Structure 1
Amino acid sequence: MRAVWYERTGPAAKVLTFGEMPAPVAAAGEVRIRLEASGVNPADVGRRGGNYRAMEYPRVIPNSDGAGIIDQVGDGVKRFKVGDRVWLFNGQRNGRAFGTAAEYITLAEHLVTPLPDHLSFDPGMTAWCGLFADGPIVGKTVLVTGGAGAVGHYAVQLAKWGGAEVIATVSSSHKAEQARRAGADLVINYKEEDVVAKAMAFTHQRGVDRVVDVDFGGNLAATLKLMAVNSTIAVYATNGNRNPVVPMRELMEKCIALRALVLFALPPPLLAAAQADITKWLAAGPRLHNIAGQFALSETAQAHLAVEKGDKLGTVIVDCAR
């Protein structure tokens, strides 16, 4: 099969190799997926660049998310058959060296979910877990930082579907329009407006119940000022300040829960609930899916660079079939 891999971390153009590898074979409890699309996340870029941790395997096929068609079913698999369209997550994470930047991947069936015919990529496990891991959000106010980003755009849509009022922060007028189209009730341009003042006014000075945060360290000073009592901050990235000092007294005085998220470490029942709920959400009506860029498999290095730049609007996709 055609695949992209690296055997040392570093710049994408220097360490990513495009070539031929043996295709995997589905073992017991696994399915093999002929991949149509591979999603490139900041975590994938960080692992390849060496920013997350040292190399865990001699050779790594990058990228965790993807979608495609099942073409092999291992012994004991009951949920799927050959020909089913599916999406997947945790393709390359702890315990797995080979991800979705390839023509094929084998994966345990519990990491695979049916995909409606009109969709072609992963619809947002991180967004769902940030919103719902700590319970229902009906009647609550949710703040989504980076409300036009790959995770944030789905978080806004899922939060509205979940019955919340949604505040989204963005960095430009174009991104503001994207967040509004996704359903945000209030959009704040954090480069031009006072996020705390506007969020507190929107909540009648009560504060927000849940934050889905793309930059915990960078946003922390402002976030603590707008949290309600018995609220939750769900963190899936912290690039603005990777080692923030957390003022515990302020968290304690408002009983603020801090939830750190990385998909491969979350409990399987929570991930299963996310898969089931996302399927319901997709079936309930048309959804917005922003594609920031689409690249051929041989152009995976360029796809990684597109994510690395930090100015994308939506999800970067590698087309594994070309």
Structure 2
Amino acid sequence: MKAIVYSSTGPSSVLGLVDREVASPGPGEVRVRVVVSGVNPTDWKARTDGDLAFPEVVPNQDGAGVVDAVGDGVTELSVGDRVWLYLAAHRRPTGTAQEFTVLPVDRAVRLPDGIDLDVAASMGVPAMTAHRALTVHEHGPARLAPGALEGRVVLVQGGAGAVGHAAIQLGVWAGATVITTVSSDAKAELARAAGAHHVVQYPDDALADRIREIAPEGVDHVVEVAPAQNAALDVEVLANHGSIGYYANNNGDDFSVPIVPSFIKNARWQGLLLYTVGDEALHAAAQDVTDALRDGALPVGEAAGLPITWFPLEETAAAHDAVESGVTGKVLIRVSD
């Protein structure tokens, strides 16, 4: 089979196309014929700065395809099932940038009928991160479903990114009023296409005032991509007992929080990383994201607010470079037909 591998960390030039034997699934594992591989910032960061725990690594955590074989003890999935994949390369050397990948059965989730594999490969890290950010409030909910966020206000910082896009869609699906911030008119159009009820642009010295005009009682949930830049603003617009779920370090590695306003509002600052969040949260996110897919709540593509940029498998290095350069939307790799 064709696979993209690297055996040393560094720039995208360390990635190479090779031929490898197709592995067999062990107990509790499935083998999936990968059709689409999804690329996230975590993929190029692991390749650039991560510890190389294996002699050879196939990158990319997310993807979608068809179950090709099952190992002993697997009853959840059968050969021929269409699935979406998450954390395929977490603590394993075998990601989705290859024609066949073997992974634990709980990281392959059966797709509802009618969901295209490009949509499925766009879930994984972005959708599950967004789910976690929306389920860490002091008063819940711990799970998302229609009506779960009824009466709540969600602020998505950076609504044109992949996580922001998923947070908008999941928030709307769960019944929240969704406000999002973006940096340009073009990104504002994408955020509206994703379903955001209110879009505000930055930089703007009156940004907090604009958000408070929309949500005079404050924002209940903040999905934060740039805490170093936005911490003070988040606290200013936060409702009492509000949560700020932050998942990235855009625009700085350190941030400071206004102490008195934070404790006056009983603010909850919640860091979130899928790799360390634990199985319970991962499984809850996988189930809820699949339910949202079934309801048609997570479309992708420019008309849905998330433009797709495609690359063939042999151009995986260019796909990583596109994500690293900050291309708007989602980068996908066509692995097979």
Give 1:109-124 correspondences, 5 Å limit.
Answer: 109-116=105-112, 117-120=114-117, 121-123=121-123, 124=127
For residues 200 and 286 of structure 1, the distance between their equivalents in structure 2, rounded to whole angstroms, comes to 27
For residues 194 and 147 of structure 1, the distance between their equivalents in structure 2, rounded to whole angstroms, comes to 19
Paired residue secondary structure (1:244): coil
For residues 193 and 60 of structure 2, the distance between their equivalents in structure 1, rounded to whole angstroms, comes to 28
For residues 4 and 37 of structure 1, the distance between their equivalents in structure 2, rounded to whole angstroms, comes to 14
Match of 2:98 among 102, 108, 113: 102
The question of 1:151 aligning with 2:163 is answered: yes
Give 1:1-322 correspondences, 5 Å limit.
Answer: 1-12=1-12, 14-50=13-49, 53-93=50-90, 95-116=91-112, 117-120=114-117, 121-123=121-123, 124-134=127-137, 135-136=140-141, 137-192=149-204, 194-204=206-216, 206-285=217-296, 287-289=298-300, 290-310=306-326, 312-321=327-336
RMSD: 1.7
In the TM superposition, residue 178 of structure 1 has moved relative to its aligned partner by: 1.3
Q: List per-residue Cα deviations over 1:111-145 (Å, max 9, x = no partner).
A: 11112333212422111121124423221110011
The residue type paired with residue 280 of structure 1 is D
Aligned residues: 316
Q: List per-residue Cα deviations over 1:42-99 (Å, max 9, x = no partner).
A: 111111121xx43232222111111000000001011110000000111112x21221
In the TM superposition, residue 213 of structure 1 has moved relative to its aligned partner by: 1.1
Paired residue secondary structure (1:132): coil
Give the TM-score normalised by structure 1.
0.93
Q: Is the 8 A contact 1:71 1:83 kept in 2?
A: yes
For residues 245 and 214 of structure 2, the distance between their equivalents in structure 1, rounded to whole angstroms, comes to 21
Q: 1:69 to 1:133 in 2, by over 3 A?
A: farther
Q: 1:248 to 1:55 in 2, by over 3 A?
A: farther
For residues 324 and 130 of structure 2, the distance between their equivalents in structure 1, rounded to whole angstroms, comes to 20
Q: 1:104 to 1:175 in 2, by over 3 A?
A: same
In the TM superposition, residue 246 of structure 1 has moved relative to its aligned partner by: 4.1
In the TM superposition, residue 243 of structure 1 has moved relative to its aligned partner by: 2.4
Give the TM-score normalised by structure 2.
0.89
In the TM superposition, residue 193 of structure 1 has moved relative to its aligned partner by: 6.5
For residues 248 and 44 of structure 1, the distance between their equivalents in structure 2, rounded to whole angstroms, comes to 35
Fraction of identical pairs, as percent: 40
Unaligned runs of 5+ in 2: 142-148, 301-305
For residues 254 and 52 of structure 2, the distance between their equivalents in structure 1, rounded to whole angstroms, comes to 22
In the TM superposition, residue 258 of structure 1 has moved relative to its aligned partner by: 1.4
Q: List per-residue Cα deviations over 1:137-181 (Å, max 9, x = no partner).
A: 221110011112111111101101111110011111111111112
For residues 60 and 249 of structure 1, the distance between their equivalents in structure 2, rounded to whole angstroms, comes to 47
The residue type paired with residue 133 of structure 2 is G
For residues 246 and 45 of structure 1, the distance between their equivalents in structure 2, rounded to whole angstroms, comes to 30
Q: Is the 8 A contact 2:225 2:248 kept in 1?
A: yes
For residues 56 and 87 of structure 1, the distance between their equivalents in structure 2, rounded to whole angstroms, comes to 25
